[in-house]
Structures are given as C-alpha cells and as structure tokens.
Amino acid sequence: MVRRDTMLLFDLEPDEAGPDAAAVTGSVTGTGPGAGPEDGSGAGPGGARGGRVPALADPVRAAARSARALLARQPRRRLVALGTAVAVVVGGTAGVTVAVRHARADAAERARVAAVVASPGGVRDLGHGGLTAAWTTPLTGEVLGALPGTVVTADGGDVVGLRLADGREAWRHALGGQVDCGPAAVAGERAATPTTLTCLAGPAADRRVTVIDARGDVVGQRDLGDATGHDLHPLAGGGLLDVQRTGEVPPPAPILDESDLTAFYPDGLLVGQGVRLTVTDAVTGDARWVADIPFRPVADVRTCGLAPDQDAGFRVHTEATVRVSATVVDVEGCGVAADYLPDGAPLTAPPGSVQDALVPDPSGGFARVGDTSAFLDARGAVRFTVPSVAALPVATDGPAPQRLVLDGSGHLVALGADGARVWPAGGRSGTGPRVTTVLARAGGVVLSLGADNRTLVAQRADDGAATWNVRLPGGLTAVGQPEVVTDGRVAVLAVGTGMGQGAVTHVVGVDLRTGETWTAAPPATGDPLRLLAVDGRLLAYTATDTVVAGTLPGGETAWAREGTLTLLAPRAPR
C-alpha cells in the first residue's frame, strides 16, 4: 500500500528555466535528517545549487533560503506543513506590502488634512451633499475670537468660552461691557489658532485689559483708566496697541463738495497729522515697541476724500484707518501709510492710496491690493509689482507657488514667484471666463464667482483651463463677497442676496471636481450668516435675535437662527 506521505513529495525547482525561473532552487528527496541534494552538487545543506532570487524582496529571499535549508532536513511527512510555511512567508510579505501601501496612503491623507486645517478657511471634512447641526447654542453677543478647542463669545458683560466638541460652556469671566478681543480672524490669513486672547472692556473713561490663556484662565489684568482719545487694539501674544495722532491738525475748509477740494488746496494738502503706535505688554504695561509715522504732503487731496464737518459743509478726511490681524498692523490714511509685523519690524511695502490696504496672502507673505498690486514676502520685502488687481482666494488647501491677478477685463492671470506669467500661455490676455472674485483655490481648482454674480466658475490651477461652470442653486445672485470654507474637495459658501432687511443668506456647497452643488437656504433677513473655521471645524453664526427657519437637504429644519451659534458637520451616511 502506498503511504499517504509519499504523495506529498514535491520539487521546489520551476518547471521551466528562465532568467528569474529559480525563485527557489534544488529538489528534496532525502527521507531523513541531513539528506543531501539529489544531483550531488554538494552546494550545502538542503542542496541549494547557488540559485538566486532576483525578483523577490530581501525578506522573501532570506525566508526562501531558510526554508530550503530546513526542508532538506525534514522527513517527507512534514513537507506539506513546510510548503505551507513557504506560501505563508510569500503571502504574508504580499500582505505586508499592501499594509505598507495603506499606511502610506493614510499618512498622505493625514498630511493633506493637516495642510488644509492650517490654511485659511480650512475645514477637516465637509462631506458631500449637505450639513447638519452637531450642536446649537444661543448667541446673545458677538463672536469675539477663538482659542484651541474653544470659540469665545460675549454674553452681556461676560466673556464666555464654549467647547467646540459640544457647545457647552467651558469657562466664563465677568469683564464688563463694550468687550473687544483679539487677535481677530481675518479672511484669507494664514495664522494658527491663537493660544492667548487679549480683551478690552469697560467704558472709555474706565477701560481695562485682560489676557486669557488657552485653558481659559486669566493670565492677568490691568486698569487703563481714562482711554478717551486713545484708539486701542488687542494684539497677538498678549500685546496692546495704542494709536494716537500727532502733529498739527489741518484747518477746516468751507468745502461743499469734492469739486471744491482742488480749488481750496491748489498745491495739495501740506499740513496734517502723523500717527504714533505704542505697543505694550497688556498685563505689565512694559513697552514692547514704538513707531512714529510722519505726515507726508498729499499732492492730490481727492485721494483723501471728504468727511462731514460739525460746523458746515465738509472737511478733508484726515482720519487714519488701523487694521490689526495676527500677522500685521496696517495703518493707512491721508498723508500717512506704514505697515508693521506684530513684533514691530517695519514692512517695506510700497505705499498705496488710502484705499489700498496691505492684506495677508493665503500662500504666505502679504499683498498690497490696488489697481497696481504688490506681492511681498513674510518680512515685507517686495517680490514683484504688477499693474493689475491682486485676486486673493478666501479659502485654500495649502500654499501655492502662483499668485493670481485680474486683468483689466476681469480674466484671471497666474503669475510665478518672480511675477512672470504662467497662464494664459503665450502672453495672451482676455481669455478664459470673466470673474469678479476668487473664492477658493483647492483640489487643483481655482473657484471664482462669475462676472454675473450668479455663476460659479472652475479653472485648473496649473494651466487655467476652464473645467466647468454652474449657476448658483435656485437662481441666486450674490451680493457682496461670499464667505468660503473648504476641505480640499468641497467648498461651502455663505451667499448673501438682497440688501438691508431684505437680505437673505444661503449656504451653498459645491464639489470642486464636478461642479455638483447643493444648498441649505434659511430665509434669514437682516444680518448675514457668518462662517468661521476653528481648529478644522465649521461654525455658523448670526448676530441678532431674529429666528430663521431653514431646511437642509436631509430634511433637518431650523438649523441656523440669528442669535445662535451652530457647529456644522457632514450628515452621517445612511
């Protein structure tokens, strides 16, 4: 009778020779320990004839060699188990390869999401097809700012920290009325969630400053006393900015309209006030830096504009506008213009008109936006200027090497780091769709609002080719600049329509790849719905107590109300 184990004899050599034929070489015929190779090559235990394993990875090669040596020492009845072991080694290695690929894909996705969250308007996940309220809480005052894991609001004279996770109150401090906290979020600014918040409170005659840390604890307070005549601004890192005017006030002029300006000031405005900036530690009062911005004569007074005069007619508008964010202090006014980093380092931004503000560039650095725009690096050195209006996206999924501008006819032009044209190719202008503003640059797409304010337009970021255009849902016509967030695949817009009490805010989602849209459209009137990205999560809020009712695509109702703060999240899959 033939024993079952003799049927298990097999040859580890391939049937056909070839360059990579011998993944494992040698044959096994011995029936006891130490049996040698059948051909008597004497190539060592197991009878390997010097075969190589060029097609396999090193771990598999080593495993095959070990298996050959072990097989040669085993009786026939054990060959099935050992053959299975060889298969397990090879199959296990394939499984490891798949696992490594999955791990790399997971790491790449985590890096992509981290880049999105670190970008202006970046949200971890917006889903596809609608949003729902994860939580909603009454909002009795303004949204003042954010700390890690917390959104900070005003409630009467209190400053309140609400947990992003569930909307519940995490901490509360009674500071007094007229609360102003900073640094405030600025659209398009690349800045991390601050770890401290500086808050001003109380009437002008008795102002106080308080610094709150990331845990919601009060780091310190300082009484400022009578701050009448001081323009105070909270700064990043627990700083306090005091803006005061210096120098001679220009005499009033009996100006009735703008046509009188040049007649009354034929040589321009020769006398005016400068600005002094004083930054102190908000808690200790210690000086951090001081800067004086002198008044410079203005040749064309019309660039200053007019302001109503308390006696009669108008006067030249000489007030200075101060814009403060987490990354820049920008001062613009009639005869004064300067920009500083929060540490006091002056930026070398070319001066613009009163209307040309220096704003953060979502890809890093800054841009002076005007009929002639300038792009600057993070320390304010001018990269290049261009005789076009800078078109900065509101939301992005990461920095980009290109800068976008609008030509004179409303077409997008992409410029490289040195200002050289990237697209349209060949120096052509007046090509592509006409747009009014860039909403987002994400997922390899530049998303813009069409010139009719009713169409969304997508162009490839690398060459400007138009990929799709679609009307806003429900025939909406946008009024003003929509607010935008993105997760790199989807963009969500807060689109205002109408004016004043007849204004309505709609929330529109769009797939950046396909142009598919969906909408949540509460018939809110009055103050617009605002969008705020904090730590990669999306908040929607309004500032008054009027109730709005709305319906989401999933059937949820009353998801946003004026006077509420809502955390929006993707609907759970059904």
pLDDT beyond 60 at 163: yes
At 283 the three-state DSSP class reads coil
Provide the pLDDT for residue 451.
Answer: 95
Alpha-carbon distance of 253 to 260, in angstroms, equals 10
What is the C-alpha separation between 570 and 558, in angstroms, rounded? 16
pLDDT at 401 > cutoff 80? yes
User: Which of helix, strand or coil describes residue 181?
Assistant: strand
Provide the pLDDT for residue 212: 97
**Mean pLDDT, residues 9-26:** 41
Contact 32, 39 (CB under 8 A): no
| Contact residues for 491 (Cβ-Cβ < 8 A; gap 6+) | 126, 395, 439, 440, 442, 447, 484, 485, 509, 510, 512
Average pLDDT on 238-261 reads 81
DSSP letter at 434 equals B
- Residue-level pLDDT at 549: 38
> What is the residue type of 488?
G
Give the rounded distance of the alpha carbon of 4 from its chain centre: 69
What is the tens place of the pLDDT at every residue in 285-318?
Answer: 999 999 999 999 988 888 887 777 766 567 778 8
Is residue 69 over pLDDT 90?
A: no
What is residue 60's predicted lDDT score, i.e. its pLDDT?
42
More confident residue, 75 or 393: 393
In the predicted model, what is the mean pLDDT of residues 357-386? 89
For the ranges 23-37, 329-343, 450-464, 526-540, the lowest mean pLDDT is seen at 23-37
Summarize pLDDT for 407-457 with one digit per residue, the tens. Answer: 989 999 999 989 999 999 766 666 689 999 999 999 999 999 999 999 999
Give the pLDDT confidence of 190-235 residue by residue, as tens digits.
888 999 999 999 988 999 999 999 999 999 999 999 999 899 999 9
The most confident of the ranges 18-27, 274-283, 478-487, 554-563 is 274-283
Taking phi over 0 as left and psi of -120 to 50 as alpha, with beta for the rest, 358 belongs to: beta
Query: CA-CA distance, 287 to 350, in Å (whole number)?
Result: 28
Beta bridge mates, 374:
368, 385
The most confident of the ranges 89-98, 186-195, 460-469 is: 460-469
Q: Is residue 61 pLDDT above 90, yes or no?
A: no
pLDDT for 7: 42
- Going by pLDDT thresholds of 50, 70 and 90, the confidence category of residue 20 is very low
Average pLDDT over residues 351-369: 78
pLDDT of the residue at 188: 77
Q: Report the percent of the chain where pLDDT is more than 90.
A: 46
Res. 476 pLDDT band, cuts 50 70 90: confident
The candidate with the shortest Cα–Cα distance to 72, out of 42, 35, 39, is: 35
Range name among 55-59, 223-227, 327-331, 478-482 with the lowest pLDDT average = 55-59
Indicate the pLDDT class of residue 526, thresholds 50, 70 and 90.
low
- What is the torsion angle, in degrees rounded to the nearest 10, for the CA atoms of residue 448, residue 453, residue 456 and residue 457? -50
CB burial of residue 66 (10 Å; 0-12, 13-18, 19+): middle
Q: What is the pLDDT of residue 243?
A: 96
Nearest 5°: CA angle at 491, between 485 and 494?
A: 60
Domain ranges of the chain: 231-235+237-341
Give the three-state DSSP class for 213.
strand
The mean per-residue pLDDT over the stretch 150-174 comes to 94
List the one residue out of 539, 535, 473 whose CA is nearest residue 504: 473
Band the pLDDT of 254: cuts 50, 70, 90.
low
CA 371 – CA 29 distance, rounded (Å): 88
- The span from the CA of 519 to the CA of 573, in Å, is 18
- How far apart CA 173 and CA 209 sit, in angstroms, is 13
**Residue 33: predicted pLDDT:** 40
* pLDDT at site 63: 46
**Looking at residue 316, what is its pLDDT?**
79
- 98 — pLDDT class (breaks 50, 70, 90): confident
**Helix (H) / strand (E) containing 91:** helix 79-117
Q: Rounded to 5 degrees, what are φ and ψ at 169? A: -70, 125
Segment 486-497, tens digit of pLDDT: 999 999 999 988
Tell me: the pLDDT tens digits for 164-186?
999 999 999 999 888 999 988 77
How far apart are alpha carbons 234 and 181 in whole angstroms? 6
β pairing state of 373-376 and 382-386: antiparallel
Mean pLDDT of the chain: 79
- pLDDT for position 304: 83
User: Among 55-64, 141-150, 547-556, whose mean pLDDT is lowest?
Assistant: 547-556
Residue 4 pLDDT grade (very low, low, confident, very high; cuts 50, 70, 90): very low
Neighbours of 418 (CB within 10 A): 7
Helix (H) or strand (E) holding 333: strand 329-333
SS3 466: strand
